[in-house]
Structure 1
Amino acid sequence: MPRKWISVLLLLQLSCHFSPGSCGKVLVWPTEYSHWINMKTILDALVQRGHEVTVLTSSASILVDPNKPSAIQFEIYPTSLTKDDFEDLFTRIISKWTYMPKYAFFTYFSLMQDIIWEYNDCIQTLCKEVVLNKKLMTKLQESRFDVVLADAAGPCGELLAELLKVPFVYSLRFSVGYTIERYSGGLPFPPSYVPVILSELSDHMTFMERVKNMIYVLYFDFWFQTFTEKWDQLCSKALGRPTTLFELMGKADIWLIRTYWDFEFPRPLLPNFVFVGGLHCKPAKPLPKEMEEFAQSSGENGIVVFSLGSMVTNMTEERANVIASALAQLPQKVIWRYDGKKPDTLGPNTRLYKWIPQNDLLDIRRML
């Protein structure tokens, strides 16, 4: 059995009763876009093995669609936020991240801080509307869930688990500065040879780069102290006793890290940190006829699939033309997921698609 599915088996063990043949009830606190796409893979596997999965989602969710036919159950709670609020927020986050000039490290993250704080405020609003909703919480308690599966990028799952008195499992790619993993997961982080993520440093640092790395660590430590203040207040209010967000996060039984260990710089790990990169990969299906013909016409040069992820479908005309011009110089055929105006510099080797079957395309042996 592939190593990446070991974590799923551990999750099954948590969600099952001790008696043989019985299955458990899983409550899910999701986030959006690629985070949800990855988590749904785990949920589908749990359902196939007979577990009862309930996703707790708001009426403002972007991708979590309870109207699609699914064996997964959905508990929808009302919120003061709207879907447009969320889409606008994520659009501004991506736009700022993409088009912000190349400032120095501290200037860059200082400018990013405001919009990340806004995202945090939205997630906290959703959390309040759940944990302070007595009718909903009573329903969840009566459902007698066995485990909570949550995305650490959007806090609240750990608070729900504490209120319901059940264990919980995290899904996470990384937190800024590895702050959550260090403070809540107890993950060792020697700054002398482990570079802070997004710092553009490597594991081969000069003395001054190590000093810089240490300053980055202290910077994000301070960053997250201000980040967690409001969460500490909410958690304490909901539980009726003093506590902190990091304290609740530290109770996670398993951390599912959404990447491969060999993509990371060498660093100490703990047994409950399990790398599950590639869980979303499935056996390829046949491509649409027109796309298949275009891919096969590439000859020995192969093809290039270009996509900027689930959140980026459009960009400025200037940026699109720069990318199109660069792709036009490649000898390969290019399949580009893009939903904007056709760039003037688009080459004959490039085909635009609003949506691409990425999993199926990546099965092509001539893929670069």
Structure 2
Amino acid sequence: MSLKHVSVLLLLLQLSSCFRYGSCGKVLVWPTEYSHWMNLNVILEELVRRGHEVIVLNHNASIFVDSGKTTAIKFETFPIDATKEDMEVFFMQFVNIWTNVLQDSYWEYLPGLQNLFSEYSNSCEDLCKKVVLNKKLMTKLQESKFDILLSDAVGPCGRPVTFYELVAKADMWLIRSYWDLEFPRPTLPNVHFVGGLHCKPAKPLPKDMEDFVQSSGEEGVVVFSLGSMVSNMTEERANVIASALAQLPQKVLWRFDGKKPETLGPNTQMYNWIPQNDLLGHPKTRAFVTHGGANGIYEAIHHGIPMVGIPLFGEQHDNIAYMTAKGAAVRLNWKTMSSEDLLNALRTVIHDPSYKENVMMLSRIHHDQPMKPLDTAVFWIEHVMRHKGAKHLRVAAHDLTWYQYHSLDVIGFLLACVTIPTYLVIKICLFVYQKLVKTEKKKKSD
């Protein structure tokens, strides 16, 4: 399975059949961290608003899933041996290895990536064991009679299964992408694209940030963010970036919480956190420097902001490749880009009108849908609950063996149908030939 599909947002599995048409259901949620939780949380809040009971199953060392937050969502927390700090260190090492080590050469990349995902898989397996072996928790969950499991990861399973067996049980797939980003390709009836479901109109900025943005005058501002999983970088990379930003006539808002670069210019303000959606929706924003995460890409498309893409890991390379192919972004290499490269890229997307025109075209496509992405996501979740699953949309290929799926049994039968008669015909011809030869030889000898 490709990395693009591994970053699939939602896997829906039917758990029970107590949901009655028109009533509200009980939803069990198995989440993951960072941007996945941000998207999933938007859906959960909407489900709660519509009257569904939502219970999030999560461990006590979660980084982003905050069970203490005031919300109508309920949390069922189970203990694990690790701490929140341990989890943060693990994910940071994961990102750093993928970003800084695994891009050196093709042949070094694949084994390293395999080891990386093996370690992550072991971590997920440990979490699943903590749930399954927690008898008190499992009894409580079984007695709750949930209508559906909503997950952006592989959830707990009571017996050993392959990854394919587990995901093949999904009634519905909701993909956090859409045709403004993707290129056309065939999909199955139980696959629906809901990219940008978290996007919303921009809200007013904090006063100090608004004052800084307004001080940019006609030149406007540039927003720079490499996402929530990249909070620091080497001093060398930071100075390369700061040097380029210092040469811009625009003001720059840079999400960065590392050591202040020596080359930082007076036009650049650094923030530990920025209201990214609100900044991208501000009329003075001229460009967005992004690592290419799905959330940031869709916020830029939603508000029509051209991009400079610096992909680091995961599906980010694909996302930036799509935006580059559609003329809405310029791509740079994180490890090799110079200050001049970044400066030229920003000047290109700001001053070449084609980039703004292209991203605005994508924005119009994004907004021109029969239903908002969030409404689409919630509709199909409720559809699965109303109909006790979505077997009517599930392709029969999941129930076939590997040789049936590839039609090897049919091919074998057809080959047998051709081979056996051919063999018999050849044998008969040889037999007749031999008889004729023997008869001819006998006549000659007489």
Q: TM-score, normalised by structure 1?
A: 0.70
Deviation at 1:284, TM superposition (A): 2.2
Structure 2 unpaired stretches of 5+:
1-8, 288-446
**Worse overlay, 103-112 or 344-353:** 103-112
Q: Are 2:125 and 1:124 equivalent residues in the alignment?
A: yes
**Counterpart in the other structure of 1:136:** 137
Q: How does 1:152-163 map to 2 (within 5 A)?
A: 152=153, 155-156=154-155, 159=157
Which residue, 297, 301, 307 being the options, matches 2:215? 297
**Counterpart in the other structure of 1:227:** none
Q: CA contact under 8 A between 2:29 and 2:54: conserved in structure 1?
A: yes
**Counterpart in the other structure of 2:173:** 255
**Worse overlay, 107-116 or 88-97:** 107-116
Alignment deviations for residues 227-282 of structure 1 (CA, whole Å, 9 cap, x no partner): xxxxxxxx33xxxxxx4331121111111111222312332212222111111122
State how far apart, in whole Å, the 2-side matches of 1:34 and 1:351 are. 24
State how far apart, in whole Å, the 1-side matches of 2:38 and 2:76 are. 18
Deviation at 1:60, TM superposition (A): 1.3
State how far apart, in whole Å, the 2-side matches of 1:294 and 1:151 are. 38
SS at match of 1:261: coil
Q: Are 2:236 and 1:310 equivalent residues in the alignment?
A: no
State how far apart, in whole Å, the 2-side matches of 1:78 and 1:24 are. 27
Letter in 1 for 2:19: H
Which residue, 193, 200, 207 being the options, matches 1:282? 200
Q: How does 1:81-230 map to 2 (within 5 A)?
A: 81-100=82-101, 102-152=103-153, 155-156=154-155, 159=157
Q: Which gives a bigger RCO, structure 1 or 2 (Cα 8 Å, sep 6+)?
A: 2
Alignment deviations for residues 101-152 of structure 1 (CA, whole Å, 9 cap, x no partner): 7423232132233232212111110001112222211100111110000113
Alignment deviations for residues 271-314 of structure 1 (CA, whole Å, 9 cap, x no partner): 22211111112232211111101111222222111111111111
State how far apart, in whole Å, the 2-side matches of 1:48 and 1:337 are. 32
State how far apart, in whole Å, the 1-side matches of 2:167 and 2:113 are. 24
Label 1:300 to 1:16 Cα distance change in 2 as closer, same or farther (>3 A).
farther
Q: Are 2:23 and 1:25 equivalent residues in the alignment?
A: no
State how far apart, in whole Å, the 2-side matches of 1:142 and 1:15 are. 13
Structure 1 unpaired stretches of 5+:
1-6, 164-234, 237-242
SS at match of 1:318: helix
Label 1:15 to 1:32 Cα distance change in 2 as closer, same or farther (>3 A).
farther
SS at match of 1:344: coil
State how far apart, in whole Å, the 1-side matches of 2:111 and 2:244 are. 32
State how far apart, in whole Å, the 2-side matches of 1:317 and 1:141 are. 52
Label 1:88 to 1:111 Cα distance change in 2 as closer, same or farther (>3 A).
same
**Counterpart in the other structure of 1:246:** 164
Letter in 1 for 2:77: I
Q: CA contact under 8 A between 2:102 and 2:108: conserved in structure 1?
A: no
Q: Are 2:71 and 1:70 equivalent residues in the alignment?
A: yes
State how far apart, in whole Å, the 2-side matches of 1:268 and 1:15 are. 31
Letter in 1 for 2:278: D
State how far apart, in whole Å, the 1-side matches of 2:103 and 2:123 are. 28
**Counterpart in the other structure of 1:214:** none
Letter in 2 for 1:269: T
SS at match of 2:180: helix
Q: CA contact under 8 A between 1:30 and 1:36: conserved in structure 2?
A: yes
Alignment deviations for residues 59-78 of structure 1 (CA, whole Å, 9 cap, x no partner): 11111111111100000011
State how far apart, in whole Å, the 1-side matches of 2:17 and 2:58 are. 20
State how far apart, in whole Å, the 1-side matches of 2:92 and 2:17 are. 36
Q: Which runs of 4+ in 1 moved over 4 A?
A: none
Q: CA contact under 8 A between 2:216 and 2:250: conserved in structure 1?
A: yes
Percent identity, aligned pairs only?
63
**Counterpart in the other structure of 2:186:** 268
Label 1:244 to 1:119 Cα distance change in 2 as closer, same or farther (>3 A).
closer
Letter in 2 for 1:37: M
**Counterpart in the other structure of 2:274:** 356
Q: CA contact under 8 A between 1:258 and 1:275: conserved in structure 2?
A: yes
SS at match of 2:284: coil
**Worse overlay, 262-271 or 65-74:** 262-271
**Counterpart in the other structure of 1:188:** none
Deviation at 1:87, TM superposition (A): 1.0
Q: CA contact under 8 A between 1:16 and 1:23: conserved in structure 2?
A: no
Larger radius of gyration: 2
Aligned residues: 275
State how far apart, in whole Å, the 2-side matches of 1:303 and 1:109 are. 39
**Counterpart in the other structure of 2:52:** 51
State how far apart, in whole Å, the 2-side matches of 1:327 and 1:16 are. 58
